[in-house]
Every structure is written in structure tokens, then in C-alpha cells.
Chain A
Amino acid sequence: MKSFEELDIRDDLFYAQTHEWVKKTGGNARIGVDDYAQSSLGDVVYVELPSMGTAVTAGASFGSLESTKAVSDVNSPVTGKIVAVNEALSDNPDLVNTSPYEDGWIIEVEMADSKELDALMKSDAYLAFLKTLDPVD
């Protein structure tokens, strides 16, 4: 588990309270889990991926990450339709650990309403939010 100083929290992303990040690319949202989430989970050994074309709802689970000690849901921060799935995670689930913001992205969603992003946190607010949390087990 990293300390707050070690955490890589990036300015160009939006964050959800459930520790997913969103990167806006046109009308699409690329989604993954952030450095805090991956370091809390430990070694990710399996990523349960959704199928292309599935509808997702903001705040609802679309898949799960399995580490050696737990299985955690991954929620979509936005509503829309899945237009891309990072199939590389099937064979290399550890990309979530080694490269949470680049190679470890999970899905891309065609957003129904990009205004939903306004409800998410920017990096400063997110860091402040993380400091209010209990130390992660």
C-alpha cells in the first residue's frame, strides 16, 4: 500500500468515489481503476470483462477485479454503451497494477450524457477525499 505522497493521481482525469478514473476522448469515456485502487488490491490475478455493446449505468458494476485476497466490483462512473474492451487484460491482468492509467485501462464507453462527468472529482478533490478514508485493509 502506497502512502499519499507516492500515489500517482493525474490532473487530466476524473475520479469516482469508488476509485475508478475516467479519461474523456471526444464523446467517449475511457475507464480504469486508479493507482490508489490497484495498490490497495494488491496483485490483480483476473479481470472479469464485460462484452462489447453492453449498456452501463453510472454507479453500477460492469465487471470485477480479482486479487489474491479479494474480488472487487468495478463500477462505471458514466452511463452509456461499451464500445471498447481491453482484451489484453485477459492474458495480462497485472497491467492493472503496472500501468493503471495506460495499458491497464478496462473499457471505453460511448457516453449518453457527458455532463455526468461534472459529478466526478478532479485530482485535488479526489486526493482530499482519499485522506478522509480509513486506512485500507
Chain B
Amino acid sequence: MTSAMRYLSHTPDDIREMLEVIGVKSIEKLFDSIPLDVRRDSEIDIEPRSEWRLSREFEEMAGASNLVAFVGAGSYAHYVPAHIPYLASRSEFLTAYTPYQPEISQGTLQAIFEFQTMTASLLGMEIANASMYDGASSLAEAALMAIRVKKKPKIAVSRLNHPHYLQALRTYLRPTAFEVVELEARVDGTTDYAAMPDDVSALVVQSPNFLGVIEDLKAAAEAAHSKSALLVVSFAEAMSWGLLKNPGSQGADIVSGEGKSFGIPHSFGGPGVGMLACKKDFVRAIPGRLVGETVDKNGERAFVLTLSAREQHIRREKAVSNICSNSGHNALIAAMYMSTAGREGLREIAQLNHDKAVYLKTGLEKVGFKPLFDVPFFNEFAMTAPAGFEKRHEALLERGFFAGLKLDLFPEYQDPRYKDAYLFCATEAHTRDILDAFFATFTILKEVA
């Protein structure tokens, strides 16, 4: 992306003038309302650098991460078509302006409306909001939303949700009176619903789940609905819906997930975009913003924020949710990606993902890996490594290949059945040359060892 805007600090004169205008004596007085114990009282320890040196440092860092990673785990390596950064960095789109005043922000509102429409269509739902921060916050908000709708004291959550999403969910619910009941995995890598209590507002299942396994969402919907609970379907890999049956058609009531796969760069794990969609019946319980289409007084098509009377900026402490800002610019990027790929394009890219992953899995089996589960997957799967792999994992890293993510790095997977298990992923970005080079390197290392 081009960076036309530079950071210019305020001079002491600027600061004095600004304080004068708002009628405050000092900076100290300006921050009076912030308690002292949450304020930093020392200088931030950063060595000053010239812009030239800073750019070089970042370029070096970018170069260092220029390795081939066969890892997804919530952040997938997808090709970003050149038109996306070009269009998205146009100054018309890069405004920090929030679209409260429809008369001057029709373009932003329309872009968000398109994002909502395509999100709802992709997920097979009736309503989608104007984006959440990311997949994790979206999942936590979806759980709270289900509680608002069903008013029952518990939430049943599959432990096969992304560990970070689970962490966000636990954090959101910790100060509330609502209990999170975690459901364990079956031996086939799918969620076991048997332990679901009766008084749950929702069952939360991720598909494909963290181990890459595609869950039977129809069965999940039956399990949830038999207890008069909602089915919340979560996802970390939006691209999978290009190939899999959408959650709406399988009986989902609320769907939440991460849309980073649609044209948004990794950015060192940086900002993603949360997707949240639901059935029309729950429109008044959905958090955040909704943009609606209407007509103005001249009968022209126009866009406005709707149902915002429940939002934080109007109803404050009684708002449906305190999430207010959204990942607006990333939602715009995701909308650009979805609209330019189109339904067929998305399907093709998704199919490529699956094919590459199958190729990777077959190759790994040839060099001694054993699949953890014999079930359908999309672009990610778990395998048990042959003896001595941990050392070779390091040697591969030195040669530019990040060969899988060790599962027991996560507290959820410190269980004997995941011993020496790694999570692998291949996408359309992994060309056949790359995959073959990886296998060749692996074989050479094996012979050396």
C-alpha cells in the first residue's frame, strides 16, 4: 500500500494553541479524568530513528518472514490480487470518517451495505452486520447475542473452536453470570454434543474446526434445536464457504467468523475483519452496525445506518453491545475481493485450496506422517509426525519452510492423543513447484539424518 501521509508531531506552540481553544490549562489537566494508576508515568523506551532507517528495518523484517508456511491456524496464506491494494488505498476509501451522517458518506455506506449483502449470501443467512473486529470478537458477540435471544444461563462451546477465539469468549463471559460449558472432541476429530446441558442458549461449533475437520452442521443443528437452543456456527477460514455447504442451509441460527482470507494481508497477525450473520428474527439482538437501503425524498436509492437506536452511541449503558467501531476498511477490502472473485471464482479458488491440501497430505504420508483423522477436510489437516521430526522441523525452517504447527503449543491440545501432532495447511498460494521443493528438501534432510 502507498503511504502518502507522514507523521508530523505537534510543536509546543500547536499544543498551547489547542489547549487555549478548549479552555484547558495543561495536558495534565486534559487527562484528569483518566485514573493515575492506568497512566504511564515514564517515557516510552524507543530509540529515535530516521524515516529512512525505519523503512529499511521494516523491509528487513518483511524479508525475514519471507518463508513458505504450511500453516493456517486462523491466518491463511491467500493470494491478494493486485487490484485490491490499488483500489483499497485510494484516498476516497482511506478515510477515518465514521458513517453517522448518511448525507456525506453514501460511498462508505454503500460499500458496507455490499459487504453485508455478500456476507449474508456467502453464509446463507438473512442478515449480516457491518463487520466486527475479527473472528474472535465476532464469536464472543454471537454467544452474547444468543443469550439475549434465548435468555438461558449457559453456552455450550466446542473445544475445537480456534484456541484464541475460545480465549476471547471466556474473557467476554467471565464477568457475567453466564456459564461456558466446553464440549470435548470425539476420536474422529468432530465435536461430541452428548455432554451439552439442557439449559443452554446456544451450541457454538466451528467448521472446519481448529483441526481442519468439517463438522456435521446438520447434526449440530439438531442437537442444539432439540434443547431449544440456537446453533452458532463459527469459522476461521472464510474461503471454505466457496466449496462447503453454507451454514444457513445446514440449520445455523447465527454465524460468526473471520474474513481475513478475502484479500487482507497477514500484517504480522494484524487487523482482520469479523463477519456476523443471523436469521432475520434476531435483527434486534445483533451487535454493532447495520446499513440499510432506502430511498431519499426524491425517490433516489440511498443508504443509512438502521436500527442504530440500540447502539452504544445512543443508548450507552443499555446498548445491545459496546462494540461500536468496526473494521470498516478491511470490510471494504473483503467486499472488493468477494465481488471481483464472484461466486464461480470463489468456488474455483476454494477448489484449488482443497486440491493443494490433498497434494500436501499425500506427500507427507509418503515421508512417514500419519493422518490424525480419516475425515473430510478443506485446506487444513492434522498429522502425527514420524520420530525425530522435531529436529527436522528446525532444519526445514532454516531452509525457508515452516513445516506445520505443533498442536501442543495450545493448552487445549496438551493431551496424549495429540502427541507429536502438527497442523498443516496448503492454499492456492502454494504452487506445485513450492510443494515439490518442500518434499525434495524434506527427503534430502531425511537422508542426511
Residues of chain A at the chain B interface (Cβ within 8 Å): 46, 48, 66-71, 73
**C-alpha spacing A46/B84, complex, angstroms:** 40
Q: Judge whether B315 is part of the interface by a CB distance below 8 angstroms.
A: yes
Contact status A70-B309, CB under 8 Å: yes
Q: Interface majority SS on B: helix, strand, loop or mixed?
A: helix
**C-alpha spacing A70/B315, complex, angstroms:** 8
Q: Judge whether B406 is part of the interface by a CB distance below 8 angstroms.
A: no
Residues of chain B at the chain A interface (Cβ within 8 Å): 284, 309-310, 314-315, 318
Give the distance to chain B from A25, nearest Cβ to Cβ, in Å.
29
Give the distance to chain A from B433, nearest Cβ to Cβ, in Å.
58
Report 12 cross-chain contacts, Cβ distance below 8 Å, ordered by A residue.
A48-B284, A66-B284, A66-B310, A67-B309, A68-B309, A69-B309, A70-B309, A70-B314, A71-B309, A71-B310, A71-B315, A73-B318
- Chain B residues with Cβ below 8 Å from A67 are 309
**C-alpha spacing A67/B284, complex, angstroms:** 13
Give the distance to chain B from A137, nearest Cβ to Cβ, in Å.
13
- Chain B residues with Cβ below 8 Å from A66 are 284, 309-310
Q: Name, among B284, B309, B310, B314, the residue most crowded by chain A CB atoms within 10 Å (CB to CB).
A: B309
**C-alpha spacing A69/B318, complex, angstroms:** 15
Give the distance to chain A from B402, nearest Cβ to Cβ, in Å.
50
Apart from A67-B309, A70-B315, A73-B318, 6 more pairs, CB < 8 Å:
A46-B284, A48-B284, A69-B309, A70-B309, A70-B314, A71-B314
**C-alpha spacing A131/B315, complex, angstroms:** 26
**C-alpha spacing A73/B319, complex, angstroms:** 12
Give the distance to chain B from A85, nearest Cβ to Cβ, in Å.
15
**C-alpha spacing A70/B318, complex, angstroms:** 12
- Chain A residues with Cβ below 8 Å from B284 are 46, 48, 66
- Chain B residues with Cβ below 8 Å from A71 are 309-310, 314-315, 318
- Chain A residues with Cβ below 8 Å from B310 are 66, 71
Closest A residue, CB atoms, query B311: A71
**C-alpha spacing A71/B315, complex, angstroms:** 7
